[in-house]
Amino acid sequence: MPEELLDATDHEILGLLREDARRTLSDIAGRVTLSTAAVKRRIDRLRESGVITGFTVQVDHAKLGWGIEAFTELRFVGNTKVAEILRTTTRMPEAQAVFTIAGDPDALVWLRVRDMAHLQKTIDEIRRHHQVTGTKTLIALESWSR
C-alpha cells in the first residue's frame, strides 16, 4: 500500500500500535475518535496490505544478561556475493540485524553480547570467515529507536 493511500488517522493508529501493540481497539478508537469497528477495519486493511507485518514484544536484553550493543562494519573480498555476506552472520545468535551496504564497508552488523569477552569472541568468529578482509567495531553507549 503506497504511503499516499494512508491518511493521518492511519498514521496515528500505527503510532499508537508502535507504542503498545497490545493496546485495545477501544483505547485506539477513543484516541483517534473513531468507532471500535472502524479502527478494526483500518487495522485489518493495514495488515492485509502488508503495512503491518506483525505484532511483537520489546525485551530488556540487559535484564537477560545481553546488555552490550555494538555495530561492526565488515569488508569482504571483492567478488563476494550479497547472499554470502548475509550468511556470514545471520546464523549467529549475537547478530540482531545485518545490513548490506552499497559502498565501503560492505555490511553493517548490529550485535548484542553479554560482555567484552563475548564481543571479542564474536568478532573473532566473524573474522575467521575466509572472505572477510576487515572489521571495525563501534560500541553503543545508549540507544533510542522508534
- Place 25 in a pLDDT band, splitting at 50, 70 and 90: very high
CATH architecture assigned to 6-47: Orthogonal Bundle (1.10)
Would you state the cell numbers that stand for residue 75, as one nine-digit string?
569488508
Planar angle of CA 111, 112, 115, nearest 5 degrees: 120
Binning pLDDT at 50, 70 and 90, where does residue 57 land? confident
What pLDDT digit, counting tens, does each position of 3-23 carry? 568 999 999 999 999 999 999
Instruction: List the domain boundaries for the chain.
Output: 6-47, 59-137
Architecture of the domain delimited by 59-137: 2-Layer Sandwich (3.30)
Res 144: pLDDT: 85
Task: Give the per-residue pLDDT at 2.
Answer: 61
Instruction: Say how far apart CA 9 and CA 118 lie, in whole Å.
Output: 45
Whole-model pTM: value is: 0.78
Residue 12: φ, ψ to 5°: -65, -45
- Comparing CA positions, the residue from 52, 55, 59 lying closest to residue 20 is 55
